[in-house]
Amino acid sequence: MEKLTYAEPEIILGTIKNTELKQIAEKVFNLQRISFEECLTLYKQADLAYLGVLANFLKQKKTGNYVYFNHNFHVEPTNVCVYTCSFCSYSRLIKHRDQGWELSVEEILNIIKKYDGQAVTEVHITGGVVPKQDLEFYKELFVAIKKHRPELHIKALTPVEFHYIFKKAKVSYHEGLKILKEAGLDSLPGGGAEIFDKGIRDQIAGGKCTSEEWLELHKIWHTMRNFSNATMLYGHIETFEHRVDHMNRLRLLQDETKGFNAFIPLKFRNKENQMAHVPEVSVIEDLRNYAIARIFLDNFNHIKSYWAMIGRNTAQLSLNFGADDLDGTIDDTTKIYSMAGSEEQSPKLTTQQLVDLIKGVGKIPVERDTLYNSVKTF
């Protein structure tokens, strides 16, 4: 596909009749930050075409025509969990642990060894929370992975897991993170954020770490000169205000630390969980949400569209609505989304398939490492 051209801001501005939306568009074209209220106006009033133009403009300014992906695989050490988040299709209660899995360090290492000789650069480790998989377990695991394959980037665990295992080990967040960093932890994925509003969080993810704890843990990790991602679970019982509040808290922390690499909107999928009665939002709403995230989060370099959750077709579309990253090859190693009803029941893409998806919408594929250093431009 030929390189796409984009309409000039002056021409676009001339076509916007709504005064509020016109003022917001002027701000965006002048690279000015939009406010909480303006973001809410976008959610409530802006159509997809308008949002696409603004998000594309900003995406081009940030990362040009490039779209990133990596060579990764997941390890889910357990799907047994002490928590009972009502959106989770994946976890099994401790009393039903016979229906789940709890891997040992050795079993996980055997999974890692299956990738020997393959060009993977990252292992993404996260799952349920069980007493057995404690601080010592993860310390031993990270040391063993680094001993076997020192260059493999370990992106692992979320504040949900850290909060539980550090409390059990009676160490502070700082001490716990230091121990795991020394063991080999390289960066943190964005999970466990869900939605920061306390009322909604209590209803869908009660009992696990609070929003303040989630943010505090990432802040400490950043101040130790490390990077992480951030997610937002959207499209369930939250309102637009809750989405803006969530992104606003992330934007404020990013102003302070600059430690987030990517923001990853995660669409609520409703198969076989306690929220199966809550309908999923439309693809239009998914694309609007990507675009609004790109516009509001001016201090985030990357917006990731997680194809395993949203499906490869919507992920491809999202590249014209502000997203500039597709996550990775995954190699059918995560169950979180297939169990929740994603159209990707065996999430696995070859490099060529990812490259074709990206080139198919006129963008330039770049294989990156976890920290967005370029490995190869296609």
Q: Which of 123, 127, 146, 145 is nearest to 72 (CA)?
A: 123
Q: Determine contact, residues 32/52, Cβ cutoff 8 Å.
A: no
Q: Determine contact, residues 140/105, Cβ cutoff 8 Å.
A: yes
Applying CB under 6 A, the span of 112-120, 175-183, 268-276, 316-324 interacting with ligand V47 comes to 268-276
Residue 85: how many CB atoms within 10 A of its CB? 22
Q: Does 79 bind ligand V47 (CB under 6 A)?
A: no
Measure the CA–CA gap between 203 and 190, rounded to whole angstroms: 21
Measure the CA–CA gap between 353 and 347, rounded to whole angstroms: 12
- x-or-dash string of contact with ligand V47, 280-309, rule CB under 6 A: --------------------------x---
Interface residue with ligand SF4 among 51, 75, 129, 319 (CB under 6 A) is: 129
Q: Does 322 bind ligand V47 (CB under 6 A)?
A: no
Q: Smallest gap, in angstroms, from Cβ of residue 85 to ligand SF4?
A: 3
Measure the CA–CA gap between 338 and 1, rounded to whole angstroms: 31
Interface residue with ligand SF4 among 92, 208, 251, 288 (CB under 6 A) is: 208
Smaller CB distance to ligand V47: residue 41 or 78? 78
Q: Determine contact, residues 338/371, Cβ cutoff 8 Å.
A: no
Interface residue with ligand V47 among 269, 294, 302, 368 (CB under 6 A) is: 269
Q: Does 328 bind ligand V47 (CB under 6 A)?
A: no
- What single DSSP character describes residue 191? T
Applying CB under 6 A, the span of 46-54, 62-70, 141-149, 265-273 interacting with ligand V47 comes to 265-273
Q: Tell me, by CB under 6 A, how many residues bind ligand SF4.
A: 11
Measure the CA–CA gap between 323 and 375, rounded to whole angstroms: 20
The token duo for 51 is 């949002």
Q: Does 209 bind ligand SF4 (CB under 6 A)?
A: no
Measure the CA–CA gap between 221 and 183, rounded to whole angstroms: 15
Residues forming contacts to ligand SF4 in the complex (CB under 6 A) are: 81, 83-85, 88, 90-91, 128-129, 160, 208
Residues forming contacts to ligand V47 in the complex (CB under 6 A) are: 87-89, 189-192, 194, 229, 231, 233, 264, 266, 268-269, 273, 306, 327, 336, 340
